[in-house]
Structure 1
Amino acid sequence: MNIKKLFMSAMVLAMTLGTANCFAQISKSDLNIGGIYYGQPLSELVRMLGQPEWRKPNFIKFRYGSANIFITPSDSQTTVVAATITGGDNDLKSKAGIGRGATLDEIKAVYGEPDEVSSVGVTYVTDLADGYQYMLNFGIGDHTNHKVHDMFFRRRGKNEPYIKPNPRPIEEPIKAKGTIPAYVTEIPESELNIGGIVPGQNIDYVEQVYNKPGKIDDQGFFKTYNYNDKFVVKAKMNKGFKVMSVGIYEKGLATPSGLTVGMPYANVVKKFGKVNPVKFKGEGVEAKLKGCSDYTYFSGGKQIVFLVDKKDVVQGIRVEELDEQKFIEAKRKKS
């Protein structure tokens, strides 16, 4: 072998050794499964998934269809630092489109060769200068013919081995939706309907009836259909996108009883009775309604909200999934 060939062989060997421990080119932004992402505020996650089934300091458990979602909160209990999606059929996917049922070849086609292969699947790691590694794992076991059955992301110390969590509830489970005592139910569930749209419908139905909106805010796990800030429908992913709330902010569309924006709140009281108002924050398109009072009526696993100004005129109506914290507060005031 001449000197030139020897030099080239040495260069190839050096390059091979130099790249053997390099990590895949993923970043913290890739720690995102179905819109659940690293650093996400827990308050936003609750708006997406509803109240958790149970919580303890190290884990919070949510349900998504028949799947379980285990969240590890930050020390301050305000943001997401790890998430595991496991069990049951679900349509949640990573930011790059890998989800339950994907094969190892499909994963590699998107992310390349994994940085780690173990009994818990294949893992992609980004090694950052802050002293931590950020991991994205697809649980397929260590057999190449298996398909993805669970996914997780988390942060770990550089010398910390991964131990798969096996969380078990230790607190009393939160009461499931749809178990409201009869004495708190204010209106028939048939009244929780605006313009023919109710929570649980497929978002495609909204588009069939009202055409495409002027604006669609797509955040992965959930979408907002905004019809010029006058009619707003929010949906979350659940084997397709299902309506979670529908609101109106101008005259026109109405409830089955004909209640609509611009009417005196006295019309609502005449139909359903009066309830105690709660503090109204005013977020998103409803920010312009700050200062209004929030009158909420419950029925089944849903609720209807009337936003009423200081002149006792309805400025907004929203039908949505049950807010259990609001229900508990209403129950406390009524008892």
Structure 2
Amino acid sequence: MKKLLLTVITGAALLAGSTCFATVPANQLELGGIPYGASVSTVENAYGRPRKSEREMKSYGEKVEYEYGNSLDFEFVNGKLTKIKADDFSDAKTKAGIGLGADMAMVKKAYGEPDFIHEEDFIYYAEGMQGIGLKIEIKYGKVTEIKCGVLN
């Protein structure tokens, strides 16, 4: 009996450890046609001047936030894009074509099972990039917010 129980526990542990999660290739980190790591000028060339911008010095460098009226926000550190957020009425899509209103089946078809789920957030980490990826918020079965870049 003990041997059977030990075999079952070991098998369950191996099965749990072999669950396949999706990592997003680094070249898929894009939202609204703008890739993670892009320059300020790349964003301005695509979207023009922001409706609102804020600058502040942090211990890690200059942080700049751009807000556009189309519910698309960009965050830069030292001139490089570190985060993009689409919410409310944005029509921005990921490189795989996922946008607000997409259902969970579409998200899983594009990215597979999430690496981590926290409440309504489905998190997909980028391959070889710690703490960077896609965070897709799902409410009532539909995407309501997408964040691309640094996940915090």
TM-score range, shorter chain: 0.7 to 0.9
2:12 is aligned to 13
Aligned counterparts of 1:120 and 1:127: Cα–Cα separation in 2: 22
1:103 is aligned to 103
- Give the secondary-structure state (helix, strand or coil) at the position aligned to 2:126: strand
Whether 1:152 aligns to 2:151 is no
- Give the secondary-structure state (helix, strand or coil) at the position aligned to 1:48: helix
CA contact (8 A) 1:100 1:148 kept: yes
* TM-score of the pair, normalised by structure 1: 0.38
Aligned counterparts of 1:8 and 1:25: Cα–Cα separation in 2: 31
Aligned counterparts of 1:89 and 1:109: Cα–Cα separation in 2: 22
CA contact (8 A) 2:24 2:127 kept: no
Identity of aligned residues (%): 24
1:72 is aligned to 75
1:136-175 correspondence to structure 2 within 5 Å: 136-141=134-139, 145-156=140-151, 162=152
1:127–1:9 distance in 2 versus 1, CA, 3 Å: farther
Provide the aligned length of Structure 1 versus Structure 2: 143
Whether 1:93 aligns to 2:96 is no
Q: CA deviation at 1:25?
A: 2.2
Which residue identity is paired with 1:68?
Answer: S
Deviation digits for residues 246-268 of structure 1 (CA, Å, limit 9, x no counterpart): xxxxxxxxxxxxxxxxxxxxxxx
- Give the secondary-structure state (helix, strand or coil) at the position aligned to 1:56: strand
CA contact (8 A) 1:135 1:155 kept: yes
1:54 is aligned to 52
1:178 is aligned to none
Which residue identity is paired with 1:29?
Answer: N
1:10–1:31 distance in 2 versus 1, CA, 3 Å: same
Any gaps of 5 or more consecutive residues in structure 1? 157-161, 163-335
1:44 is aligned to 42
Aligned counterparts of 1:119 and 1:6: Cα–Cα separation in 2: 33
Aligned counterparts of 1:9 and 1:119: Cα–Cα separation in 2: 30
1:27-38 correspondence to structure 2 within 5 Å: 27-38=25-36
Aligned counterparts of 2:28 and 2:132: Cα–Cα separation in 1: 9
Where has structure 1 moved over 4 Å in runs of 4 or more?
5-11
Deviation digits for residues 121-160 of structure 1 (CA, Å, limit 9, x no counterpart): 21111363x6x2212022223xxx431122111225xxxx
Deviation digits for residues 148-198 of structure 1 (CA, Å, limit 9, x no counterpart): 122111225xxxxx3xxxxxxxxxxxxxxxxxxxxxxxxxxxxxxxxxxxx
Whether 1:124 aligns to 2:124 is yes
Which residue identity is paired with 1:48?
Answer: A
- Give the secondary-structure state (helix, strand or coil) at the position aligned to 1:52: coil
Aligned counterparts of 2:141 and 2:5: Cα–Cα separation in 1: 43
Q: CA deviation at 1:23?
A: 4.7
1:308 is aligned to none
Q: CA deviation at 1:18?
A: 2.3
CA contact (8 A) 1:23 1:126 kept: no
Q: CA deviation at 1:12?
A: 3.9
Any gaps of 5 or more consecutive residues in structure 2? 56-62
Aligned counterparts of 2:142 and 2:132: Cα–Cα separation in 1: 23
CA contact (8 A) 2:123 2:136 kept: yes
- Give the alignment's Cα RMSD to 1 decimal: 2.7
1:1-335 correspondence to structure 2 within 5 Å: 12-19=11-18, 23-57=21-55, 58=63, 59-63=65-69, 67-74=70-77, 76=78, 78-90=79-91, 92-126=92-126, 128=128, 132-141=130-139, 145-156=140-151, 162=152
Higher Cα radius of gyration: 1
1:7–1:133 distance in 2 versus 1, CA, 3 Å: same
Which residue identity is paired with 1:61?
Answer: E
* TM-score of the pair, normalised by structure 2: 0.77
Q: CA deviation at 1:44?
A: 1.1
